[in-house]
Structure 1
Amino acid sequence: MTVTAPDKTEQRVVLHGACVSHGAAEGRVLCVYGRKRQYFFQRIENSEVDSEILRFERAVSSAAKQLTSLVSQPPQNSVPNASEIFDAHLLILTSPTFTDGVIEVIRHQLVNAEWAVKLACDEQVRRQKNAASPELRERYLDIIDVAERVLSHLGGEDSPNLQIDKDSVLVAEELRPSTLLELGDNLPRAILTELGGWTSHTFIMARELGIPAIAGIKGLMRSARPDDPVAVDADRGLAVLNGTVDDDLTSSSLPGTTTKPTGGTAAAACVVSVNLDETSKFNEAFELGATGIGLLRSEYLFRHAQGWPSEELQVEMYSQAIAAAGGRPVRIRTFDFGIDRVSFGGMVSERNPALGLRGVRLGLAREPRLRAQFRALLQASVNGPVQIVIPMVSGTDDLTRTRAILDDEYARSEAAFSDIEPPRFGTMVEVPSAILQIDDLIRHADLACLGTNDLVQYTLAVDRDNGLVADWYNSLHPAVVRSIALVVESANSAGKELVVCGEIGGSPFYIPLLLSLGVRHLSVSISSLAAVNETLASVDISDVHDIKQRVLGLETAAAIEAELRRIYLERWPWLVASAA
């Protein structure tokens, strides 16, 4: 990383790009230049090939141990998917595409391991950048991150952490996800880059952290000077160097945008909640218009405990969360991670934890842990209404067994605490078997939460963090859209509450489609609240009814997206501009 001295020339510069994380901020430019390690070249003899390959394999092993350790740590910066990103890096590191590629270069080109890593990385990055899908193209930074991690282990040194001030706005050609992760709690005011897009891991994290971000700013690095004051309005894709975002710079003056109307009936017809993994942001979420906590990920307790959280700690933390909601509904999801994330003594990591002993499966396999969590939630419920949501449900057996345990603990708790009310019992809907059995699940639950991120992943059999198959991860795939329609229809017919969670619900582009399918409750990240509420205020329910009929019969994601764009250009052109 290099930071140069500021130039005293103060010229007001207006920059335009694409919003990749909503919000606004002011601060000072911190230019982040190529924080890359230096790869050195050295010829080796045939007799040295095996020892050089062994050196590389040891570096991979060390890097894998480091990543495995990072995966098992509590989420950094309150980023719920930080460990998933390290998971993705671990997958790249141990994939034959990477390791065999490096070994082949060492063996056939007779070069040192460092240079072989560079050549293999360059080839993978080249293929990634030439992919047809923007989602796939944007993941090349993960490959670079992995290669440089291996290089550090080959050289036996650690990367210097980026140091930032509290008012820093990071400005870079591109920003790797590890850069954000290494900052800890010292986060920037905003992020501006020349490259990257909505599905980049960096900007997925930025949205979770509530950091405003704009990508695709042409000439950014030529225009920005270190320590320049900068104002960022990410919602409009606007950044102003050496000035402010003036009132005369309305959205109508920006390329490809149109002023949004207000007073749409969708705002009154819909409920918007927030997804959180920490109680410290409750007040901020309510000030931004959240009506309740749509999903509180209980894994946040592991940040406050050494090992597995005790029942007493759980009671204390849940009570604080429910009380902080001030009578608003709080849906708490039971622990959702795999056996690989926690130590049970003697248990080994699974080869495929995403399809293994995780979520409700882990709870049922370790019933005393599940019972303790239920008891803690029941005791905490005296502070306000609580709803318990069970993750990774694949069928009615998961749900009925879990509910029987909850009912048993409720009966015992009621005897000890007379003021405990029976909690509402909910199921996550995120795997294909749950979709196909949705009518049965709905009968056994009081409510359902549709987890769209995992729904896409499991329906399409695509690891959303694996750049090698990201081209197949598409939220508009007909199977995904039809699955959502099935779940909504089932819940609405049964008169059961359905909450849609995940990236789809937090993206304005998808909102008219979801409304047309019958969705009336969205739960989104805190950084998406303003944009979602603004979109709902600009849409009339009467204008969405025909969308469902026009898209459900289409056979490809591209066809669905094209049809949505045609509809939006006629009715809500700003939605097309925001998704461009």
Structure 2
Amino acid sequence: MLSLLRRITQEVTAAQSLPVALDIIVRRVRRAMRAEVCSIYLVDPNTNEYILMATRGLNADVAGSASLKADEGLVSLVGRRAEPVNLEDAHIHPSFHYLKGTGEERYRSFLGVPIIHHRQVLGVLVVQHEDKRRFDEGEEAFLITLSAQLAGVIAHAEATGAMTSLSVNAASAGSDFRYKGVAGSSGVAIGRGVVVYPPADLDVIPDRTVDDCATEVEEFNQALDAVRQDIRRASNRLSQHLSNDEKALFDVYLKILDDNAWSKDVESKINAGNWAQGALRQVIQTHIAHFDRMDDPYLRERASDIRDLGRRILSHLQAKAPNLAERFEEPSIIIGEELTASMLGEVPLDKIKGLVSVMGSGNSHVAILARAMGIPTVMGALDLPYAQLDKVNLIVDGYLGQIFTYPSEHLTQNYQQIVDEERQLEEEYETLKDLPCVTQDGYRLSLYVNTGLTADIARSLDRGAEGIGLYRTEVPFMVRDRFPTEAEQEHIYRQQLEGFAPAPVTVRTLDIGGDKSLPYFPISEENPFLGWRGIRVTLDHLEIFMAQIRAMIKASAGLHNLKIMLPMISHVAEVEEALALIRRAYAEIKEEGYDVKMPQVGVMIEIPAAVYQVKELASLVDFMSVGSNDLTQYLLAVDRNNPRVADLYNCFHPSVLRALHSIVKQVKNEGINLSVCGEMAGDPMGAIILMAMGYDVLSMSSTSLPKVKAVIRNISMDQAQNMLDQVIHLTHADAVTQTMTRLMREANIERLVRPAKTTTH
């Protein structure tokens, strides 16, 4: 059964179009279940009708035109219930409705199962028999399992526009295809897409049209010859160490390369207009799928040989291709399966209009980086056909987490108005740069920035930052191929401390692990977010911790504005051990003659264990900073980088709000400074709530700072506390955001957060 399911799923995934995929499903299921009829009905997104899209056993001529209303027939009953309906005699059921022209009147037994993707019913898969009989449990289980596996394929077809107009009566749609993702960084970007991808990875190579097919064919054949030479050299180099049987493996590779059939397939796709890399990907994937469907284990293993050769050819093709920066002739929207900071680093900042990542969530590090740079971003667009979007006109709506491809002139004009309004808001923010963040009734709130790059200093000061609430020391560690020396770290930290002196600079000790890894210090764990990360790593490696602490303290000489923060604290003992080491490093540096003062030391409150120990921790440290990103993640048990559960990650969840409020109440009389340095602090809605709770400092990206200041300066503390009172006891995150949105609108501050037109799309 499992092998049959696997083969059907592989065939469907490899299909070139939605109709072909649906025909494969009905044909294979009918045969596997020995049914007389197998049909697929899909929901038309425009009318909510169930359209008969493919069938084996009924009249195929009506496929695409025959339909059932949303409340009509057994098929719609399956959809409404979102559960299987298994009937011995369908005709006597009250919901039975004969669909004219299909020829189904002679079929009595009926089994229909819903096709569901991300809680949405996409359609219904049906099998039928002439005889009156109930399908057994095994048959029902098989159909349920198959529909669950096929749901993603059909959802992808829907997302790419194949299902935009299923009904023959619906108007044909040639543009404005919309794809849903997760808002990563607010703003709107209008421009052409440029697809980026890691090197030598066949699966992420996009399609790209070319005019000079002959040159592409020539480059492909040159790459083919280069791989042949590589393999012959490897064979000759290792021949004395290998047996004849083992040497024959190289001959197998050469025979595959000399097979004219698949190389001609590549050339054919190039001549059809695709570039060499895209044509190679298409052909290699087709051959891999063919081998994967084979029953013989030996033949199935040949798929890995084909993939390996494909990667080798690809690497030679890419060696001749222009680098990423050269592909940006004009400011563009970067699209990728999984965008990384290193990819962004290869592109000049003035060439990036917007970002779209298939993987990741609104709190992935790329999204955080995008917010810091003010780049409109959408993350987690799982159904986006990104490989087909190179050089395609796009609109990225970073407010609502939407991407539009091939936008119409009307839609483009609407979004251009939003861009114009954003520009006006930026000009309004500019006038606030040198003004304090004070509410209308005189409450003073300090706004700091989160930094990681030297370039952040000037940008932050230019936007009115009063200090650094979080300097991420892992950034200079991540851009090197080794640990930076103590002297190198001292120079890096000195730049941050001097840039903001005499304002305070909070430097976090190395916070690696989880989703932040060093290439030269890999940490491989099954559950990295609950594993060896943050303070756990550095206390286990005192040589790393002490070099970093010494560098920080030395860098503060004569400036005296250093604050040290410890991440991922879960035990009082960790703080006690770290404090002893910091005092030791301070004493050593004083003996060496440096003009230094003992820095203030604080901890990050970012896991539930710390929330319930804040009083004990407060007695040991000088300040506390809540990391709302990780605290939300751990409280809700949601991996914030996983787009499948991105909708569950919400810092306005009642549990998160109550935890944040509880922290303030517990340390109210402890006499220590309390701040928030997560993304919630840079959300104007979150900033109002946090200020009302009693947090002293909010630390955020420099891009978010002007927005937050504009909002805080236009309300009173009384208004903020009234807003908090109205939302703190609500039981749903959506209710919190809806109530806050209404209250902000009534206070006439919603316009300071986002352009008015963004609420209409």
Aligned counterpart in structure 1 of residue 751 of structure 2, from 571, 574, 580: 574
1:280 counterpart = 2:444: no
Aligned to 1:146: none
User: Post-superposition shift, 1:336?
Assistant: 0.4
Asked if 1:353 is matched to 2:514, the reply is no
**2:469 is the counterpart of 1:294:** yes
Q: 1:263 to 1:552 in 2, by over 3 A?
A: closer
* Among 611, 623, 636, the residue aligned to 1:447: 623
Q: Structure 1 pair 169/179, CA: closer, same or farther in 2 (3 Å)?
A: farther
Residues 1:250 and 1:531: Cα distance change in structure 2 (over 3 Å): closer
Correspondence 1:8-407 to 2 at 5 A: 21=185, 29-32=191-194, 35-36=206-207, 37=278, 39-40=282-283, 41=286, 43=290, 47=294, 50-51=297-298, 53-54=300-301, 162-163=324-325, 168-171=330-333, 177-178=338-339, 181-189=342-350, 190-191=352-353, 199=362, 203-211=367-375, 215=397, 216=402, 221-223=407-409, 237-238=418-419, 264-265=439-440, 269-302=444-477, 305-338=480-513, 341-342=517-518, 349-384=524-559, 385-407=561-583
Aligned-pair identity in percent equals 27
Match of 1:489 in 2: 665
Cα-to-partner distance string for 1:445-502 (whole Å, 9 max, x where unaligned): 1011111111111111111111232232111111111111112223433221112112
Q: Is the 8 A contact 1:170 1:188 kept in 2?
A: no
Deviation at 1:550, TM superposition (A): 2.2
The normalised TM-score by structure 1 is: 0.67
Q: Equivalent residue for 1:431?
A: 607
| 533-542 or 411-420, which deviates more | 411-420
Pairwise CA RMSD? 4.3
Looking at structure 1, the residues matched to 355 and 554 of structure 2 have their Cα atoms a distance apart, in angstroms, of 47
Q: What residue identity is the alignment partner of 2:530?
A: L
Secondary structure of the residue that 1:324 maps to in structure 2? Answer: helix
Instruction: Give 1:328 deviation, angstroms.
Output: 1.5
- Note closer, same or farther for the CA distance 1:361–1:341 as it changes in structure 2 (3 Å cut): same
Aligned partner letter, 1:191: K
Q: Deviations over 1:83-120 (max 9, x none)?
A: xxxxxxxxxxxxxxxxxxxxxxxxxxxxxxxxxxxxxx
> What does the per-residue CA deviation read over 1:400-432, in whole Å, with 9 as the maximum and x for residues that have no partner?
111111112222222222621110001011000
Q: 1:552 to 1:23 in 2, by over 3 A?
A: closer
Number of the residue aligned with 2:736: 560
Q: Measured at CA, do residues 29 and 451 of structure 1 come closer, stay the same or move farther in structure 2, by a change above 3 Å?
A: same
CA deviations on 1:274-332 (whole Å, 9 max, x unpaired) are 11111222122111110111111112332575411111222222222212223211100
Contact kept? 2:636, 2:649, Cα under 8 Å = yes
Number of equivalent positions = 452
For residues 336 and 520 of structure 2, the distance between their equivalents in structure 1, rounded to whole angstroms, comes to: 37
Deviation at 1:178, TM superposition (A): 2.7
Q: 1:318–1:377: 8 Å Cα contact kept in structure 2?
A: yes
- Aligned partner of 2:267 in structure 1 is none
Any conservation in 1 of the 2:292–2:300 contact (CA below 8 Å)? no
Match of 2:95 in 1: none
Query: Per the alignment, in what secondary structure is the counterpart of residue 347 of structure 2?
Result: coil
Cα distance in 2, alignment partners of residues 167 and 296 from structure 1: 34
Query: Which residue in 2 is equivalent to 1:507?
Result: 683
In the TM superposition, residue 188 of structure 1 has moved relative to its aligned partner by: 4.5
The match for 1:516 is: 692
Whether 2:584 is the aligned partner of 1:422: answer no
Aligned 8 A contact 2:324 2:347 in 1:
no
Partner SS, residue 382 of structure 1? coil
Contact 1:394/1:434, CA 8 A, preserved across alignment? yes
1:464/1:315 CA distance change after superposition, 3 Å: same
Cα distance in 2 for partners of 1:248, 1:274 equals 20
Task: Return the TM-score normalized by structure 2.
Answer: 0.52
Q: Is there any run of 5+ residues in structure 2 with no aligned partner, and where?
A: 1-181, 196-204, 208-277, 378-395, 429-436
Distance 2:355 2:293 in 1: 44
**Cα distance between partner residues in 2 of 1:309 and 1:386:** 20
Amino acid of the structure 1 residue aligned with 2:600: R
Measure the CA separation in 2 of the matches of 1:476 and 1:485.
12
Would the alpha carbon gap of residues 435 and 375 (structure 1) be closer, same or farther in structure 2, given more than 3 Å must change? same
Deviations 1:187-221 (A, max 9, x none): 35352589999938665442133335651476764
* CA shift in 2, pair 1:185/1:285, >3 Å: farther
Paired residue for 1:97? none
Determine if contact 2:447/2:698 at 8 Å carries over to the other structure.
Answer: yes
C-alpha contact (below 8 Å) 1:448/1:499 kept by paired residues: yes
Secondary structure class of the residue paired with 2:483: coil
Residue 537 of structure 1 is aligned with which of 709, 713, 730?
Answer: 713
Equivalent residue number for residue 8 of structure 2? none
Q: 1:247 to 1:570 in 2, by over 3 A?
A: closer
Counterpart residue type for residue 472 of structure 1: L
- The Cα of 1:573 is off from its aligned counterpart by 3.8
CA contact (8 A) 2:504 2:562 kept: yes
Mark the CA change 1:44 to 1:354 in structure 2 (over 3 Å): closer, same or farther: closer
* C-alpha distance in 2 between matches for 1:294 and 1:263: 18
Structure 1: unaligned runs, 5 residues or longer: 1-17, 63-149, 252-261
**CA distance in structure 1 between the aligned counterparts of 2:474 and 2:625, rounded to whole angstroms:** 17
What SS does the corresponding residue of 2:624 show, helix, strand or coil?
strand
**1:436 Cα shift?**
0.9
Counterpart of 1:122 in structure 2 is: none
Q: Determine which structure has more spread, i.e. the larger CA radius of gyration.
A: 2
Structure-2 separation of matches of 1:461 and 1:246: 38
In 2 relative to 1, CA 420–158 (structure 1 residues): closer, same or farther, beyond 3 Å?
farther
8 Å CA contact retained: 2:355, 2:376: no
Distance 1:179 1:412 in 2: 40
Contact 1:506 1:532 in 2 (8 A): yes
Distance, in Å, in 1 between the alignment partners of 2:468 and 2:188 is 23
1:482 aligned partner, one-letter code: R
Conserved 8 A contact 1:22-1:527: no
Task: Provide the C-alpha distance between the structure 1 equivalents of 2:680 and 2:343, rounded to a whole number of angstroms.
Answer: 28
1:135 aligned residue: none
Q: Which amino acid aligns with 1:450?
A: V
Q: Which residue of 1 aligns with 2:260?
A: none
Aligned mates of 1:444, 1:151 — CA distance in 2: 58
| 2:269 aligned partner | none
Q: CA deviation at 1:382?
A: 0.8
Moved more, 522-531 or 290-299: 522-531
Q: Is the 8 A contact 1:506 1:528 kept in 2?
A: yes
Between 475-484 and 463-472, report the one with greater CA deviation: 463-472
Secondary structure class of the residue paired with 1:493: coil
